[in-house]
Structure 1
Amino acid sequence: MKITERSKARRGHTRSGGLGKLGRGVAIALMTGIAPLALHASIDREASYEPVSPTVDQARANILIARQLQFTHFRDLSIDDSLSSEVFDAYLDYLDGQRVYLTQQDLERFEPLRYGLGAALKTGRLQPGFDIYNTVQQRVIERLEFALDLVNQGIDKLDFDRDESLLLDRSEASWVANQQELDELWRKRIKNAVLAQRLSDKSDEDIEKSLKRRYESQLNRSRQARSEDAFQAYMNAFAGMWDPHTSYFSPRTSENFNINMSLSLEGIGAVLQGDNEYTKVVRLVPGGPASKQGQLQPADRIVSVTQEDEDTPVNVIGWRLDEVVDLIRGPRNSVVTLEVIPASASDDSMTRTIAIKRDQVKLEEQSASSEVIQLQRDGNNYRIGVLTIPTFYADFRAMQKGDPNYKSTTRDVRQLIDELEDDGIDGLVVDLRNNGGGALHEANDLVGLFIDEGPTVQIRNANNDVQVLTDQDPTVSYDGPMVVMVNRMSASASEIFAGAIQDYGRGLVVGSQTFGKGTVQAVRPLNHGQLKITQSKFYRVSGGSTQHKGVVPDIEIPSRVDFSRIGEDALDHALPWDQIEAVPHTRYFDFSGIIDQLRKNHDERFATDPEFQLLQQEIDFLTEQRAQDYVSLNADVRAVELQQIEDTRLRIANARREIQGESTFETLEELEDWQTAQAADPDGQEDELDFILREGGHIMADMLELDRRLASIGAMETIAAQAN
Structure 2
Amino acid sequence: MSIAERMITRHIMTRGVFTPGKKTFALALMLALAVPVSAKLDTDKVYEPVSPTVEQARANILIARQLQFTHFRDMSINDSLSGDVFDAYLNYLDGQRIYLTQKDIDKISAVRSGLGSALKTGQLQPGFDIYNLVQQRIIERLEFALALIDDGIDKLDFSADERILLDRSDADWEADREALDALWVKRIKNAVLAQRLNDSDDGSIKEALRRRYEGQLKRAYQARSEDAFQAYMNAFTGMWDPHTSYFSPRTSENFNINMSLSLEGIGAVLQSDNEYTKVVRLVPGGPASKQGQLEPADRIVSVKQEDEEKPVNVIGWRLDEVVDLIRGPRESTVTLEVIPADAPDETVTETIAITRDKVKLEEQSASKEVIEFERDNDTYRIGVINIPTFYADFKAMQAGDPNYKSTTRDVRKLIDELKAEEVDGVVIDLRNNGGGALHEANDLVGLFIEEGPTVQIRNSNNDVQVLNDEDPSVAYDGPLVVLVNRMSASASEIFAGAIQDYGRGLVVGSQTFGKGTVQAVRPLNHGQLKITQSKFYRVSGGSTQHKGVIPDIEIPSRVDKTRIGEDALDRALPWDQIEAVPHARYFDFSGIIDELRKRHDNRFEEHPEFSLLQKEIEFLKQQREREYVSLNLEKRKEHHSQIERTRLTIANARRDIHGEEAFESLDELDDWQDQQAAEPDNADDELDFIIREGGNIMADMLELDQRMASILNPKQITAQAQAR
Normalising by the residue count of structure 1, what TM-score does the alignment of the two structures yield?
Answer: 0.93
Counterpart in the other structure of 1:463: 461
Give the drift of 1:664. Answer: 1.1
Give the drift of 1:705. Answer: 0.7
Counterpart in the other structure of 2:189: 191
Which residue among 156, 162, 165 is the counterpart of 1:164?
Answer: 162
Counterpart in the other structure of 1:666: 664
Give the drift of 1:350. Answer: 3.4
Which residue among 80, 83, 86 is the counterpart of 2:81?
Answer: 83
Mapped partners of 2:165, 2:342: distance in 1: 17
Which residue among 146, 149, 152 is the counterpart of 2:147?
Answer: 149
Counterpart in the other structure of 1:522: 520
Give the drift of 1:261. Answer: 6.9
Counterpart in the other structure of 1:563: 561
After TM superposition, the structure 1 stretch with the greater mean CA deviation from structure 2, 468-477 or 699-708, is: 699-708
Residues 439 and 263 (structure 1), Cα distance of their counterparts in 2 relative to 1, 3 Å cut: closer
Question: Helix, strand or coil: the match of 1:114?
Answer: helix
Which residue among 592, 610, 626 is the counterpart of 1:594?
Answer: 592
Counterpart in the other structure of 2:609: 611
After TM superposition, the structure 1 stretch with the greater mean CA deviation from structure 2, 308-317 or 552-561, is: 308-317
Give the drift of 1:29. Answer: 6.8
Residues 164 and 29 (structure 1), Cα distance of their counterparts in 2 relative to 1, 3 Å cut: farther
Counterpart in the other structure of 2:14: none
Counterpart in the other structure of 1:36: 30
Which residue among 37, 51, 54 is the counterpart of 1:53?
Answer: 51
Counterpart in the other structure of 1:319: 317
Alpha-carbon contact 2:368-2:383 (below 8 Å) kept: yes
Which residue among 410, 416, 419 is the counterpart of 1:418?
Answer: 416
Give the drift of 1:379. Answer: 2.6
Counterpart in the other structure of 1:101: 99
Mapped partners of 2:259, 2:306: distance in 1: 23
The answer on 1:574 being equivalent to 2:572 is: yes
Mapped partners of 1:154, 1:569: distance in 2: 45
Residues 241 and 261 (structure 1), Cα distance of their counterparts in 2 relative to 1, 3 Å cut: farther
Alpha-carbon contact 2:198-2:347 (below 8 Å) kept: no
Question: Helix, strand or coil: the match of 2:205?
Answer: helix
Alpha-carbon contact 2:562-2:568 (below 8 Å) kept: yes
Counterpart in the other structure of 2:506: 508
Counterpart in the other structure of 2:648: 650
Question: Helix, strand or coil: the match of 2:47?
Answer: coil
Mapped partners of 2:436, 2:284: distance in 1: 11
Counterpart in the other structure of 1:550: 548
State how many pairs are aligned. Answer: 686
Give the drift of 1:40. Answer: 3.0
The answer on 1:219 being equivalent to 2:194 is: no
Alpha-carbon contact 1:262-1:269 (below 8 Å) kept: no
Give the drift of 1:30. Answer: 5.5
Give the drift of 1:482. Answer: 0.4
Alpha-carbon contact 2:39-2:48 (below 8 Å) kept: no
Which residue among 335, 338, 343 is the counterpart of 1:337?
Answer: 335
Give the drift of 1:649. Answer: 0.5
Give the drift of 1:263. Answer: 7.6
1:79-478 equivalences in 2 (<5 Å): 79-259=77-257, 265-478=263-476
Alpha-carbon contact 1:253-1:260 (below 8 Å) kept: no
Residues 206 and 478 (structure 1), Cα distance of their counterparts in 2 relative to 1, 3 Å cut: same
Alpha-carbon contact 1:512-1:553 (below 8 Å) kept: yes
Mapped partners of 2:258, 2:192: distance in 1: 33
Question: Helix, strand or coil: the match of 1:524?
Answer: strand
Question: Helix, strand or coil: the match of 1:74?
Answer: coil
Give 2:659's aligned amino acid: G
Residues 668 and 100 (structure 1), Cα distance of their counterparts in 2 relative to 1, 3 Å cut: same
After TM superposition, the structure 1 stretch with the greater mean CA deviation from structure 2, 160-169 or 324-333, is: 324-333
Alpha-carbon contact 2:479-2:709 (below 8 Å) kept: no
Mapped partners of 1:313, 1:460: distance in 2: 48
Alpha-carbon contact 1:98-1:170 (below 8 Å) kept: yes
Counterpart in the other structure of 1:684: 682
Give the drift of 1:319. Answer: 2.0
Residue-by-residue CA offset, 1:31-64 (whole Å, 9 max, x unaligned): 2323224313589632621110000000000000
Give the drift of 1:139. Answer: 0.6
Mapped partners of 2:522, 2:328: distance in 1: 29
Question: Helix, strand or coil: the match of 1:256?
Answer: helix
Question: Helix, strand or coil: the match of 1:343?
Answer: coil
Mapped partners of 1:406, 1:248: distance in 2: 34
Alpha-carbon contact 1:262-1:271 (below 8 Å) kept: no
Counterpart in the other structure of 1:18: none
Mapped partners of 2:392, 2:684: distance in 1: 28
Give the drift of 1:321. Answer: 1.7
Mapped partners of 1:610, 1:349: distance in 2: 29
Question: Helix, strand or coil: the match of 2:705?
Answer: helix
Alpha-carbon contact 1:103-1:177 (below 8 Å) kept: yes
Alpha-carbon contact 2:498-2:538 (below 8 Å) kept: yes
Query: Once superposed, what is the RMSD of the aligned Cα atoms?
Result: 1.6
Give the drift of 1:544. Answer: 0.3
Give the drift of 1:313. Answer: 1.1
Give 1:173's aligned amino acid: A
Give the drift of 1:288. Answer: 1.2
Give 1:507's aligned amino acid: G
Residues 146 and 349 (structure 1), Cα distance of their counterparts in 2 relative to 1, 3 Å cut: farther
Give 1:180's aligned amino acid: E
Mapped partners of 2:151, 2:395: distance in 1: 61
Alpha-carbon contact 2:426-2:480 (below 8 Å) kept: yes
Alpha-carbon contact 1:388-1:431 (below 8 Å) kept: yes
After TM superposition, the structure 1 stretch with the greater mean CA deviation from structure 2, 43-52 or 231-240, is: 43-52
Mapped partners of 2:145, 2:93: distance in 1: 19
Give the drift of 1:620. Answer: 0.5
Give 2:41's aligned amino acid: E
Residues 203 and 520 (structure 1), Cα distance of their counterparts in 2 relative to 1, 3 Å cut: same
Alpha-carbon contact 2:194-2:346 (below 8 Å) kept: no
Counterpart in the other structure of 1:721: none
Residues 75 and 665 (structure 1), Cα distance of their counterparts in 2 relative to 1, 3 Å cut: same
Residue-by-residue CA offset, 1:350-388 (whole Å, 9 max, x unaligned): 322211111221111100001100011223211001010
Residues 265 and 688 (structure 1), Cα distance of their counterparts in 2 relative to 1, 3 Å cut: farther
Alpha-carbon contact 2:441-2:494 (below 8 Å) kept: yes
Mapped partners of 1:679, 1:102: distance in 2: 42
Give 2:53's aligned amino acid: T
Normalising by the residue count of structure 2, what TM-score does the alignment of the two structures yield?
Answer: 0.93
Alpha-carbon contact 1:264-1:360 (below 8 Å) kept: yes
Mapped partners of 1:86, 1:80: distance in 2: 10
Residue-by-residue CA offset, 1:231-261 (whole Å, 9 max, x unaligned): 0000000000000000000011112313357
Give the drift of 1:329. Answer: 1.1
Question: Helix, strand or coil: the match of 2:164?
Answer: strand
Q: Tell me, which stretches of 5 or more residues in structure 2 are unaligned?
A: 1-20, 711-724
Mapped partners of 1:150, 1:38: distance in 2: 31
